[in-house]
Amino acid sequence: EAGVTQSPTHLIKTRGQQATLRCSPISGHTSVYWYQQALGLGLQFLLWYDEGEERNRGNFPPRFSGRQFPNYSSELNVNALELEDSALYLCASSLNRGSTDTQYFGPGTRLTVL
């Protein structure tokens, strides 16, 4: 069974640009979560999507947004990039909404903002 996949592996952008990160969940999983892992700040919850809807959002500005497609894959968009957005962005998926089910993580996308 394929795990959670993310693309690209690495992404280099300059300040002010936009970044798009992609995630494909485990087959059959409907919930997708995004986390930011910045140096020294640990893992911070960004967004949770389920059945195409945004269900919860962490303490991040509106320039962090995303969506979930009918096939449950997801996209994270970061607009007006700032230097402090440089981080590893992790996507996770789980089987059921509302069940506090186990989240399975992808390998991450390393975003570098210059």
Instruction: For residues 61 and 112, give the distance between their C-alpha atoms in angstroms, rounded to a whole number.
Output: 18
Choose, by CB under 8 A, the member of 48, 64, 81, 93 that binds another protein. Answer: 48
Question: Interface with another protein by CB under 8 A: which range of 11-19, 65-73, 75-83, 90-98?
Answer: 90-98
Which residues are within 8 A (CB) of 99 and not within 5 positions of it... i.e. 6 or more apart?
A: none
Cross-strand partners of 23: 6, 74
Which amino acid makes up residue 100? T
CA 24, 28, 33, 37 dihedral sign is: negative
Judge whether 36 and 46 are in contact, CB under 8 Å.
yes
Question: Interface with another protein by CB under 8 A: which range of 60-68, 70-78, 79-87, 97-105?
Answer: 97-105
Binders in 16-35 for another protein, by CB under 8 A: 31, 33
Q: How far is the CB of 80 from another protein (least distance, A)?
A: 25
| Helix/strand/coil for 104 | strand
Check binding of 64 to another protein (CB under 8 A): no
Q: How far is the CB of 106 from another protein (least distance, A)?
A: 5
Which residues contribute to the site for another protein (CB under 8 A)?
A: 4, 6, 31, 33, 42-43, 45, 48, 50, 55-56, 58, 90, 92, 97-98, 100, 102-108, 110
